[in-house]
Amino acid sequence: MTQDREGLSDPKAMRALAHPARLMILNRLRVEGSATATEVAEIAGITPSAASYHLRMLAKYGFVEDAPARGDGRERMWRGVDRPLSVGVQPDDQPEVRAAKVLLIAAFRRDANEEAERALAASDLEPEEWREVTLFSRHRLRVDAGELAELNRQIEKVLEPYFARDRGEEVAPEGARVVEAQVNLFPVAARVVPGLPTEDHDARMVSE
């Protein structure tokens, strides 16, 4: 979620989306389809009334909307709005906009890290066929800005046919599951070099 293709630049909308429970609720609706406040409350570990409040806030900023009723129609149904969630910091961003973007990107990263950590913790419980194809990788590349932009486009082109929001269970092959693809492409920032510790510091650490 590093490109500002959808123009996510409203500070209030981005701060509203950055709430952990709202990210979980929105992900549930986008991947698994429409649900009630009670159903998404179970996913987020909150009360139905709290879930209703978060849903109204997400609707206020255009992230979710009312869905067709089911059954007797007594419970309000919600669904995610079909729009990419992408945001990137731009050189001409106003301070308030930049702060909101950084906050939202940090929330995306925390949510992604938690997802990966849960998968890693549960890896021993997965069938062998899934363990063999699970990948956690990290690579250093040497590219210019144009090549990085092209790499972004090519990766999205490869992933697009498999997006869960567009590929329902009825069209996916038997045995298909929801899988998370995490892609981070960014220029490596200079690391602050701490320097060597002094001899006195070393001696003190040994004595302690």
Q: At what angle do helices 20-32 and 48-60 cross, to 10 degrees?
A: 80
Q: Which residue has the higher pLDDT, 74 or 33?
A: 33
Q: DSSP letter for 188, please.
A: P
Q: What is the pLDDT of residue 3?
A: 38
Domain 11-162 has CATH 1.10.10.10: yes
Residue range 149-190, pLDDT digits in tens: 999 999 999 999 999 988 989 999 999 999 999 999 999 999
Mean pLDDT of the chain: 90
Residue range 183-204, pLDDT digits in tens: 999 999 998 888 888 766 555 5
- Kindly indicate the confidence band of residue 205, based on its pLDDT and cuts at 50, 70 and 90: low
Q: Which residue has the higher pLDDT, 70 or 97?
A: 97
Residue range 52-73, pLDDT digits in tens: 999 999 999 999 999 999 877 7
- How far apart, in Å, are the Cα atoms of 119 and each of 68, 71, 181? 33, 35, 12
- Kindly indicate the confidence band of residue 128, based on its pLDDT and cuts at 50, 70 and 90: very high
Number of other CB atoms surrounding residue 7 within 10 Å = 8
- Choose among 74, 64, 71: nearest CA to 17: 64
